[in-house]
Amino acid sequence: MTRTSRPIAGVLLGALLGAAAPADSPVNVPEPAGLYEGPQHGYTPPTLKGATVLDLAAFDRLLAENKPVLIDVGLADHKPANLPPTAIWRPTHRSIPGAVWLPAAGVAPLPAAHEDAFLKRVDALTGGDKAKPIVTFCHPECWGSWNAGKRLVAAGYSQVHWFPLGVEGWQDQHETIAIRPDAQWSALPRPSASQ
Protein backbone atom coordinates (compact mmCIF):
# COMPACT_ATOMS: atom_id res chain seq x y z
CA MET A 1 0.00 0.00 0.00
CA THR A 2 1.45 3.38 -0.96
CA ARG A 3 1.79 6.28 1.43
CA THR A 4 -0.99 8.25 -0.33
CA SER A 5 -3.44 5.35 -0.43
CA ARG A 6 -3.28 4.72 3.34
CA PRO A 7 -5.37 7.77 4.32
CA ILE A 8 -7.92 6.94 1.63
CA ALA A 9 -8.14 3.33 2.85
CA GLY A 10 -8.62 4.60 6.42
CA VAL A 11 -11.48 6.86 5.35
CA LEU A 12 -13.14 4.03 3.39
CA LEU A 13 -12.79 1.60 6.29
CA GLY A 14 -14.31 4.18 8.67
CA ALA A 15 -17.23 4.73 6.29
CA LEU A 16 -17.85 0.99 6.00
CA LEU A 17 -17.75 0.52 9.75
CA GLY A 18 -20.10 3.47 10.21
CA ALA A 19 -22.53 2.01 7.68
CA ALA A 20 -22.38 -1.32 9.48
CA ALA A 21 -23.02 0.22 12.92
CA PRO A 22 -26.21 -0.90 14.64
CA ALA A 23 -29.25 1.33 14.29
CA ASP A 24 -29.11 2.12 18.01
CA SER A 25 -25.48 3.24 18.08
CA PRO A 26 -24.75 6.45 20.00
CA VAL A 27 -24.41 8.51 16.84
CA ASN A 28 -27.74 7.45 15.34
CA VAL A 29 -30.26 7.74 18.20
CA PRO A 30 -32.97 10.27 17.33
CA GLU A 31 -35.02 11.99 20.00
CA PRO A 32 -38.41 10.32 20.41
CA ALA A 33 -41.44 12.59 20.05
CA GLY A 34 -42.48 11.90 23.64
CA LEU A 35 -40.97 10.18 26.63
CA TYR A 36 -38.95 7.03 26.04
CA GLU A 37 -40.86 4.02 27.39
CA GLY A 38 -38.27 1.29 26.81
CA PRO A 39 -35.61 -0.02 29.18
CA GLN A 40 -33.93 2.67 31.27
CA HIS A 41 -30.44 1.66 30.15
CA GLY A 42 -29.49 2.01 26.49
CA TYR A 43 -28.06 4.43 23.98
CA THR A 44 -29.60 7.90 24.28
CA PRO A 45 -29.81 10.81 21.84
CA PRO A 46 -27.07 13.43 21.91
CA THR A 47 -29.73 16.15 22.31
CA LEU A 48 -32.76 17.04 24.43
CA LYS A 49 -34.99 19.61 22.75
CA GLY A 50 -35.64 22.58 25.03
CA ALA A 51 -32.74 21.69 27.35
CA THR A 52 -28.99 22.21 27.40
CA VAL A 53 -26.80 19.11 27.21
CA LEU A 54 -23.78 19.41 29.49
CA ASP A 55 -20.33 17.90 29.29
CA LEU A 56 -18.27 17.86 32.49
CA ALA A 57 -16.59 21.23 31.87
CA ALA A 58 -19.93 22.95 31.23
CA PHE A 59 -21.42 21.25 34.30
CA ASP A 60 -18.53 22.51 36.45
CA ARG A 61 -19.07 26.07 35.17
CA LEU A 62 -22.82 25.89 35.81
CA LEU A 63 -22.22 24.65 39.38
CA ALA A 64 -19.76 27.46 40.07
CA GLU A 65 -21.84 30.25 38.54
CA ASN A 66 -25.52 29.36 39.06
CA LYS A 67 -25.94 26.80 41.87
CA PRO A 68 -28.49 24.65 39.99
CA VAL A 69 -30.87 22.13 41.53
CA LEU A 70 -29.33 18.67 40.98
CA ILE A 71 -31.78 15.82 40.43
CA ASP A 72 -30.49 12.26 40.41
CA VAL A 73 -33.09 9.86 39.00
CA GLY A 74 -30.93 6.73 39.07
CA LEU A 75 -32.72 3.49 39.83
CA ALA A 76 -32.40 2.03 43.31
CA ASP A 77 -30.66 -1.33 43.65
CA HIS A 78 -32.94 -4.33 44.07
CA LYS A 79 -32.29 -6.88 46.77
CA PRO A 80 -30.88 -9.99 45.08
CA ALA A 81 -33.47 -12.77 44.96
CA ASN A 82 -30.94 -15.36 46.15
CA LEU A 83 -29.95 -13.36 49.24
CA PRO A 84 -31.02 -15.22 52.40
CA PRO A 85 -33.86 -13.50 54.30
CA THR A 86 -31.62 -13.00 57.33
CA ALA A 87 -28.83 -11.35 55.31
CA ILE A 88 -28.31 -7.63 55.81
CA TRP A 89 -29.06 -5.61 52.66
CA ARG A 90 -27.71 -2.07 52.73
CA PRO A 91 -26.97 -0.84 49.23
CA THR A 92 -25.18 2.49 48.94
CA HIS A 93 -26.11 5.02 46.27
CA ARG A 94 -23.28 7.37 45.37
CA SER A 95 -24.08 10.64 43.70
CA ILE A 96 -22.95 14.19 43.04
CA PRO A 97 -22.68 16.30 46.20
CA GLY A 98 -25.81 18.39 46.71
CA ALA A 99 -28.04 16.18 44.57
CA VAL A 100 -31.55 15.17 45.52
CA TRP A 101 -32.17 11.50 44.69
CA LEU A 102 -35.59 10.68 43.28
CA PRO A 103 -35.13 7.00 42.36
CA ALA A 104 -36.87 5.98 39.13
CA ALA A 105 -38.42 9.44 38.61
CA GLY A 106 -37.41 9.14 34.96
CA VAL A 107 -39.27 5.94 34.11
CA ALA A 108 -42.06 6.10 31.56
CA PRO A 109 -44.87 5.68 31.84
CA LEU A 110 -44.84 7.03 35.37
CA PRO A 111 -47.98 6.61 37.48
CA ALA A 112 -49.98 9.86 37.66
CA ALA A 113 -49.37 10.19 41.41
CA HIS A 114 -45.61 9.93 40.84
CA GLU A 115 -45.65 12.38 37.95
CA ASP A 116 -47.53 14.88 40.13
CA ALA A 117 -45.19 14.23 43.08
CA PHE A 118 -42.12 14.70 40.85
CA LEU A 119 -43.32 18.07 39.58
CA LYS A 120 -44.36 19.20 43.07
CA ARG A 121 -40.99 18.18 44.50
CA VAL A 122 -39.12 20.06 41.75
CA ASP A 123 -41.38 23.08 42.36
CA ALA A 124 -40.38 22.98 46.03
CA LEU A 125 -36.69 22.53 45.23
CA THR A 126 -36.72 25.52 42.87
CA GLY A 127 -38.81 27.69 45.19
CA GLY A 128 -41.42 27.89 42.44
CA ASP A 129 -38.93 29.55 40.08
CA LYS A 130 -39.31 27.99 36.64
CA ALA A 131 -36.19 29.86 35.49
CA LYS A 132 -34.00 28.25 38.19
CA PRO A 133 -31.31 26.08 36.58
CA ILE A 134 -31.94 22.36 37.02
CA VAL A 135 -29.66 19.46 36.09
CA THR A 136 -31.03 15.94 35.61
CA PHE A 137 -28.69 12.97 35.59
CA CYS A 138 -28.31 9.32 36.53
CA HIS A 139 -25.75 7.08 34.78
CA PRO A 140 -24.27 7.04 31.28
CA GLU A 141 -26.66 5.72 28.65
CA CYS A 142 -29.66 6.21 30.96
CA TRP A 143 -32.99 7.26 29.55
CA GLY A 144 -34.29 8.15 33.01
CA SER A 145 -32.42 11.44 33.20
CA TRP A 146 -33.39 12.25 29.60
CA ASN A 147 -37.06 11.60 30.43
CA ALA A 148 -36.85 13.66 33.63
CA GLY A 149 -35.41 16.58 31.68
CA LYS A 150 -38.11 16.24 29.03
CA ARG A 151 -40.82 16.25 31.72
CA LEU A 152 -39.40 19.46 33.15
CA VAL A 153 -39.20 21.14 29.75
CA ALA A 154 -42.85 20.16 29.11
CA ALA A 155 -43.78 21.59 32.54
CA GLY A 156 -42.39 24.99 31.51
CA TYR A 157 -38.96 25.03 33.15
CA SER A 158 -36.71 27.22 31.01
CA GLN A 159 -33.25 26.33 32.37
CA VAL A 160 -33.25 22.53 32.17
CA HIS A 161 -29.83 20.92 31.76
CA TRP A 162 -29.14 17.27 31.07
CA PHE A 163 -25.85 15.69 32.15
CA PRO A 164 -25.75 12.42 30.16
CA LEU A 165 -22.34 11.40 31.57
CA GLY A 166 -24.04 10.86 34.92
CA VAL A 167 -22.42 9.98 38.22
CA GLU A 168 -19.65 8.03 36.50
CA GLY A 169 -18.77 11.01 34.31
CA TRP A 170 -18.70 13.24 37.38
CA GLN A 171 -16.42 10.92 39.33
CA ASP A 172 -13.83 10.98 36.54
CA GLN A 173 -12.63 14.25 38.11
CA HIS A 174 -14.60 14.69 41.35
CA GLU A 175 -15.57 12.83 44.49
CA THR A 176 -19.04 11.40 44.95
CA ILE A 177 -20.95 11.05 48.20
CA ALA A 178 -23.37 8.47 49.56
CA ILE A 179 -26.92 9.81 49.58
CA ARG A 180 -30.32 8.50 50.57
CA PRO A 181 -33.55 8.76 48.58
CA ASP A 182 -35.54 11.95 49.04
CA ALA A 183 -37.88 11.37 52.00
CA GLN A 184 -40.96 12.83 50.28
CA TRP A 185 -40.36 10.79 47.16
CA SER A 186 -39.68 7.63 49.16
CA ALA A 187 -43.07 7.90 50.87
CA LEU A 188 -44.72 6.98 47.55
CA PRO A 189 -45.06 3.36 46.42
CA ARG A 190 -42.02 2.47 44.31
CA PRO A 191 -42.62 2.95 40.57
CA SER A 192 -41.64 0.01 38.43
CA ALA A 193 -38.95 0.21 35.80
CA SER A 194 -37.79 -2.22 33.19
CA GLN A 195 -34.02 -2.49 33.39
Contact partners, residue 114, CB within 8 Å, separation at least 6: 105, 188, 191
What's the mean pLDDT in 7-35?
Answer: 55
Residues 166-184: tens digit of each pLDDT:
999 999 999 999 999 998 8
Amino acid, res. 59: F
Residues 80-96: tens digit of each pLDDT:
778 788 888 677 889 99
Reply yes or no on whether the pLDDT at 119 is more than 80.
yes
Reply yes or no on whether the pLDDT at 193 is more than 70.
no
Q: With beta carbons less than 8 A apart as the criterion, state whether 178 and 77 touch.
A: no
CA distance 54 to 160: 10
Reply yes or no on whether the pLDDT at 18 is more than 60.
no
- Looking at the whole model, is its pTM more than 0.95? no
Reply yes or no on whether the pLDDT at 23 is more than 60.
no
At residue 184, the pLDDT reads 86
Q: Domains in the chain, ordered, with CATH?
A: 40-186 (3.40.250.10)
Q: What percent of the chain has pLDDT over 70?
A: 82
**Cβ-count burial 122-155 (b if 16+ within 10 Å, e if not):** beebbeeeeebbbbbbbbbbbbbbbbbbbbbbee
Q: With beta carbons less than 8 A apart as the criterion, state whether 134 and 159 touch.
A: yes
